[in-house]
Copies of this chain bind each other. A is one copy, B any other.
Amino acid sequence: MGRTPSNHYHHGDLRRALLQSAEHLLESEGLDKVSLRAIARIAGVSHAAPYHHFDDVDDLLASVATSGFSRLRHAMSNKAEAVEGPPLTRLQEAGIAYIRFAAENPEVYRLMFSSRLRASENHPELAKAAGEAYATLGALLGRSSPNASAAFGAAQAAWSTVHGLAMLIIDSRLDIDRNDAEAVERAAREVTNVLGRGLRDLVSGA
Number of interface residues of A (CB under 8 A): 35
Residues in B whose Cβ lies below 8 Å from that of A163: 164, 167-168
Residues in B whose Cβ lies below 8 Å from that of A64: none
Does A10 have its Cβ within 8 Å of any Cβ on chain B?
Answer: no
Identity of the chain B residue whose Cβ is nearest the Cβ of A158 in the assembled complex: B194
Residues in B whose Cβ lies below 8 Å from that of A3: none
A154 to B197, CA, bound (A): 12
Interface class of chain A by DSSP: helix
Which listed residue (B153, B165, B171) contacts A190, Cβ 8 A? Answer: B153
- Choose the segment among A11-19, A44-52, A76-84, A198-206 that binds chain B (4+ C-beta atoms closer than 8 Å): A198-206
Whether A167 pairs with B113 at a CB distance below 8 angstroms is yes
Does A144 have its Cβ within 8 Å of any Cβ on chain B?
Answer: no
Given known pairs A163-B164, A164-B165, the reply for A190 and B157 (CB within 8 Å) is: yes
Residues in B whose Cβ lies below 8 Å from that of A174: 156
Instruction: List which A153-202 residues lie within 8 A (CB) of chain B.
Output: 153-154, 156-157, 159-165, 167-168, 171-174, 187, 190-191, 193-202
Does A28 have its Cβ within 8 Å of any Cβ on chain B?
Answer: no
